[in-house]
Structure 1
Amino acid sequence: MKKLVALSALALCLASFAPRLRHYQNEKWISLFDGKSLNGWKVGENAETFKVEDGTIVVNGNTAHLFYDGLAMNHDFKNFEFKAKVMTFPGSNSGIYFHTAYQEKGWPSKGYEVQVNNSHTDWRRTGSLYSVDDVKEVYVKDNEWYTESITVQGKRIIIKVNDRTVVDYTEPDNVNKPGGRMISNGTFALQGHDPKSKVLFKDIMVRALP
């Protein structure tokens, strides 16, 4: 009898979990960029660093950061898959921040940065989890579109370049990074690094994970 009761309780538990599981399995990719404007994005100083041309976000100018501030998940992401198509030009540097928060100026003080850089003087190359798990190899070329993706689930961060895993990092439980550089929650930001750097972004997508 006790065994039957236990099995019944387990069945009820699984039944209650199933709709939630199906919800995440069926979660669709959400576009964060409409290809026409910067609606849903917010930038502080040096806003002229970002503009939209031919369906892409063109990043070129003084140091600035473009934060996603739109309706998708109320621009507050925790566990997710993110992907974007990126093109760099020779000598250019940029980055994609996650678990960050809007600030008017300066380098974002919250969240991690994923590097975008194939030929800049900074040796940390595309796909690096900046200053945490850095990539020295160059996997893609300037002047060519490639896909950069970020998956965060729990304490694990996976970064891929054209479906090739270049970083698989699990944040230690006792991590204590200054300035909020740790897994938490927040939005995304694209980096304008310097006037000599030009980078294009398009097809910016995200979907939630449990």
Structure 2
Amino acid sequence: MAAYVAVASLAFVQPHQSLAKAADAWQNLFDGKTLNGWKRLGGTADYKVENGVIVGTTVMNSGNSFLTTEKEYGDFQLEIDIMLESPVSNTGVQTRSHFNTPGHEGKVYGRQIEIDPSERAWSGGVYDEARRQWLYPLDLNPKAKTLYKQGQYNHLKIECIGNETKTWLNGQPVAYVVDPVDPKGFIGLQVHAINTKEQEGKKIYFKNIKIKTTDLKPSPFPADIYVVNFVPNYLTPYEKEHGWKLLFDGKTSAGWRSAKATTFPAQGWQTTDGTMTVLSSEGKEAANGGDIVTKDEFGSFDLSFEFKLTPGANSGVKYFVTLAEKSEGSSIGPEYQVLDDDRHPDAKLGRDGNRTLASLYDLIKADKNPRFIHPIGEWNVGRIVSYPDKRVEHYLNGAKVLEYTRGSKEFRDLVAQSKHHIWPNFGEAPKGHILLQDHGNQVSFRSIKIKELK
């Protein structure tokens, strides 16, 4: 790392070297003197070259502004140094992006690698500008939140090969996204829209911008980086290497059975079009196909799943399900609530919202920002992490919404005042099945994957 810093601090690339293809296949995107090869799109922020650096300046009442390459790029590795004058500013680097197409009139859209000096500290995360919003918030990699350095140049590396995007900030890995959309597009440097005098006239500095488009080899990532994977029912070689397994193969019910029998339900569930779908029975809980569970049991794990609700639907993903309770309705276990909060009455029951989407059902309310809730009929990504020390976390579309410790005094106090109090040692089994609930409404699941934690 020290060797790189020494190189980055040298004088800027001389004009006669600009745009020349180096022996190692790297090419400069900025000649150090002009904005040749670049154009401004979107807002009206000012971009100039000063002392060999591209300087973007915020402008009041402008939308998001982007200095974009005139050329489009598919597979590449990109490196750039970025510094923000003010901690109230915000910027990012667009990758494989587009402008002014139907549905996005006058707007730049596409995957953006964020530079975020706020207390949230999501620099190096991946945001889908003007489209799907956050793809990889740093709740998924909290160790990376300390990497950004205010008032200094931060070195950002971006790798886009095939449908995989990886990021590094100041030499450390941050985000890993697998996304089948946008195989190519332009690269852009953002100056974020502002709406206060405090943010007006603030400068953002970009330098040492270089790209490699040939002789590309994927860079290694450490084992503990969570992958946001939008290819349905698919694991990357990286995920397989580091212990992830699919619980649903996208075609059959293999690995699953009824919670009430040793076989998969003969009716009430469908495995078609890459989804596992519980069919509607007019809201009658466990009255059609009934709940299904994994044949295997799990203790410490990282579980990820996509779900799609129909209007007014209710379902859930339960874990540490032992099937020992012999309940008449749904089987018993801690539940990640899957619910249409706006239309289903259960959202208004319980205590303080603890039956809403992504909550620990009837125990802990999910603290979720509305921007992380995808509309009914679209896919959402749920995640449950159960650590060996009995800590548990729930996530919704990459944002952590709650955490608790199984068996703690706080947990047992919550159980005591919930509908679960009738079950001895509720939620404290050392291992159990994963359950998908039949609550009488049509809900689909896919991309159900798990990694056992040691």
TM-score above 0.5, yes or no: yes
Is it true that 1:183 corresponds to 2:417 in the alignment? no
Distance 1:122-1:68 versus aligned 2 partners, 3 A rule: same
Matched residues, percent identical? 27
Is it true that 1:98 corresponds to 2:319 in the alignment? yes
Q: Which amino acid aligns with 2:426?
A: R
What does residue 390 of structure 2 align with?
155
Deviations 1:87-114 (CA, angstroms, capped at 9, x unpaired): 11110000001010346852213x2111
Equivalences for residues 8-157 of structure 1 within 5 A: 27-43=242-258, 44=260, 47-62=266-281, 63=286, 64-69=290-295, 75-102=296-323, 106-109=329-332, 111-119=333-341, 120-123=344-347, 124-135=355-366, 139-153=373-387, 154-157=389-392
Give me the whole-angstrom Cα distance separating, in 2, the residues matched to 1:35 and 1:105.
Answer: 30
Contact 2:407 2:428 (C-alpha < 8 Å) held by counterparts? no
Deviations 1:139-167 (CA, angstroms, capped at 9, x unpaired): 23211111100001122110000011111
Distance 1:37-1:167 versus aligned 2 partners, 3 A rule: same
Contact 1:85 1:145 (C-alpha < 8 Å) held by counterparts? yes
- In the TM superposition, residue 172 of structure 1 has moved relative to its aligned partner by 4.5
Q: Secondary structure at the match of 1:48?
A: coil
Q: Secondary structure at the match of 1:76?
A: coil
Q: Which amino acid aligns with 1:59?
A: V
- In the TM superposition, residue 134 of structure 1 has moved relative to its aligned partner by 2.1
Structure 2 unaligned spans of 5+: 1-222, 225-240, 348-354, 416-420
Q: Which amino acid aligns with 2:360?
A: L
> What TM-score do the two structures reach when normalised by structure 1?
0.77
- In the TM superposition, residue 66 of structure 1 has moved relative to its aligned partner by 0.5
Is it true that 1:199 corresponds to 2:443 in the alignment? yes
- In the TM superposition, residue 76 of structure 1 has moved relative to its aligned partner by 1.8
Deviations 1:51-81 (CA, angstroms, capped at 9, x unpaired): 1110100112342100111xxxxx1211110
- In the TM superposition, residue 187 of structure 1 has moved relative to its aligned partner by 1.1
- In the TM superposition, residue 170 of structure 1 has moved relative to its aligned partner by 2.1
User: Which is further off, 81-90 or 114-123?
Assistant: 114-123
Give me the whole-angstrom Cα distance separating, in 1, the residues matched to 2:445 and 2:313.
Answer: 13
What does residue 9 of structure 1 align with?
none
Q: Secondary structure at the match of 1:122?
A: helix
Which entry has the higher C-alpha Rg, 1 or 2?
A: 2
Give me the whole-angstrom Cα distance separating, in 2, the residues matched to 1:131 and 1:125.
Answer: 9
Contact 1:48 1:61 (C-alpha < 8 Å) held by counterparts? no
Contact 1:118 1:140 (C-alpha < 8 Å) held by counterparts? no
What does residue 59 of structure 2 align with?
none
Q: Which amino acid aligns with 1:182?
A: G
Q: Which amino acid aligns with 2:268?
A: T
What does residue 8 of structure 1 align with?
none
Give me the whole-angstrom Cα distance separating, in 2, the residues matched to 1:104 and 1:67.
Answer: 15
- In the TM superposition, residue 35 of structure 1 has moved relative to its aligned partner by 1.0
Structure 1 unaligned spans of 5+: 1-23, 70-74
User: Which is further off, 35-44 or 145-154?
Assistant: 35-44
> What TM-score do the two structures reach when normalised by structure 2?
0.37
What does residue 21 of structure 1 align with?
none
Q: Which amino acid aligns with 2:279?
A: N
> How many residues align structurally?
179
Q: Secondary structure at the match of 2:357?
A: coil
Give me the whole-angstrom Cα distance separating, in 1, the residues matched to 2:358 and 2:266.
Answer: 25
Q: Which amino acid aligns with 2:306?
A: K
Q: Which amino acid aligns with 1:135?
A: A
Distance 1:32-1:104 versus aligned 2 partners, 3 A rule: farther
**Of the two structures, which has the highest relative contact order with CA contacts closer than 8 Å and spacing of 6 or more?**
1
What does residue 164 of structure 1 align with?
399
Distance 1:135-1:208 versus aligned 2 partners, 3 A rule: same
